[in-house]
Chains A and B, each alone.
Chain A
Amino acid sequence: MITMTFDGVAIAGAAEIPYARKAQGITTTSLLASVFVKVLATAEIAHNEVDGIAVSSFTLKPDHAIDVAWQLGISPRWSMEDTHGGACGINMLQHAARAIQVGDANVIVILAGDHFQPSDFKDLVENYNRTTRDYLTPLQFGGPNALFALLTRHHMKVHGLDRSDYGLLCIAQREWARRNPLAVYRSELTLDEYLCAPVVADPLCRYDCVPVVSGANALVLTRGDRTPGKAVGIRALRCLYNPDHQEGDGLQTGLKSISERLWQDAGVGPAGIDLVSVYDDYPVMVLVQLADLGFIPDGDMRGFIRNRLVPRTLPVNTSGGQLSVGQAGTAGGLHGLVEAVLQLRGEAGERQIARARFAAVSGYGMVQYRYGMCANAVLLEGSH
């Protein structure tokens, strides 16, 4: 029988270690080890109970997931390595949940993290894939900022937005970050400060671009009967990659095609969601994903920003998101999931959403020629 639900699987814990800019004296593997120890402590699971591991990292090479297992002193009977960037968290969650359902593993730790030296980052953005290496790097644009500047400019035209609209989104996320002790940027951000910030690639300014940091995130999954109490369940999860073969305008992701089925699977709609984590590599992509998921049914982006994000009546990216917390490479693909699980377990401290039961999380990434190819989403339910 084909199992379509995610019954019998529980997210038993989530952890993030503090992100840091220009961190010294650490390695990617040491970051992954630190978050591994932290997530097991959070979930009250013993080291020797772990029998599955999933790892995503841009800077792990020449090592692989199994080398990490060796470093961590575990003997997994299930192992995977993921290369989906901003979509890695939900992609690994999908595979790990199915592995637990069929009994291939009982306790799986999902890890993502990166430590960047300046040369690592340059190497990553210049050789992200073959298309980047052959056609984008010769243009000497050094990364995705210019691509998403083009996308943002197009989004502004289509929706009649101006820079202050994206600024208000960044400010709303910064307001959440001010309540998150792990955020790299916690000071108040004003609209004047945003509008006067140095331009990176017009119309994008410094605050539209994620600060590059080193860090790591983790989840631990178990069988549902293994973890009573604060376990978080998966109500629905769907992915769609390369939906338009890079022939669209980039203002619609795979989420647009999967959202109707996702909400059907979950038995709950956007109106029933208590918080949302959206992959925020750039403000424009926050709006694109929220629209694709059905959170902006009338298409009025400006009204949505002012009436839902600014007053925080719809809590979006309650950690502050990568725009304020920082982007730790592939850890960014797990960051929003970790935040949602912390919220649903009542572990979000000063930024805790009262009585949070349902969370929607989306992942996005892997820029091919012009924009990201990957999008996925999961709907989580807390039980505490």
Chain B
Amino acid sequence: MTPENNRRAERASIVAFVVAIVGGLLAAYGYWSDHTEVWLGVGLALALGGIGFGLVSWAKYLDLDEHVVQQRERLTTTPDEREQFDEQVADTQHTLGRRPLLATLFAGSVASLAVGFIGPIGSLGPRPRGERGRTSWAAGKRLVTSDGLPIAAESTAFDQLATVFPAGAIGADDSQVVLLRLRPDVLTERTIEGGTVAGWVAYSKICTHAGCSVGLFGVDSRAPQEIRELVCPCHQSVFDPADAAQPVGGPATRSLPQLPIGVDAEGYLIALGIFDRPVGPVTWDEA
């Protein structure tokens, strides 16, 4: 390394440390300024980066760079050491090993201690009692929006979407329903059997794949055919709302449970029954 290089490197370190000092002061100012997050952060970044740069160029260029040879130490066990240890094991067998009954009981007592601790683990959560099979829906309950407004069956627009809950249980996680109004002629037979009114059709909004809200509804009216899709934004499972929400794309394997709906005397949509199976993702015995 030439003296000139050394001088340059020293200058680089000097600049870096000065920048670091300015950065620290800037950070202190930044805290009191009106733009705390930016100037505090930029100041800290300059201070930290300056120190780092200064140290590294100091080490790299100011005669600290070096090239040293060191021998490795032995890692493997020598036959001697192995023999010594084997003897200790043998000794142990002669002393402790003479009382196999005690050893067995000791092991047994530790194991039973572990068993004793299982109980508190059970307290972490209650035993499942079919809660997942029940929702807040019941026959006769009105479908209401998150604002609590009922939905009038009388409507002119098609391809409508609303997220609805049972009246009295707004926001209930397991009772969220995606309510659609499609043209009645696009609904398949089994969809209509599932309980629809004038094109209104209601499905559980919880994806049967991994439980996210099936929030996307798209209509593609471009030729040659109209396509309607309900899509889950998490893993892009696609359901056909005109055909009992059968899965038609993505990883989902089961259709969204359909909520049978009807109209009450005042012309508002109500549930005629409940879901015929648990909503959302299921366990292995709910196939």
Q: A and B: partners?
A: no
| A residues apposed to B, CB below 8 Å | none
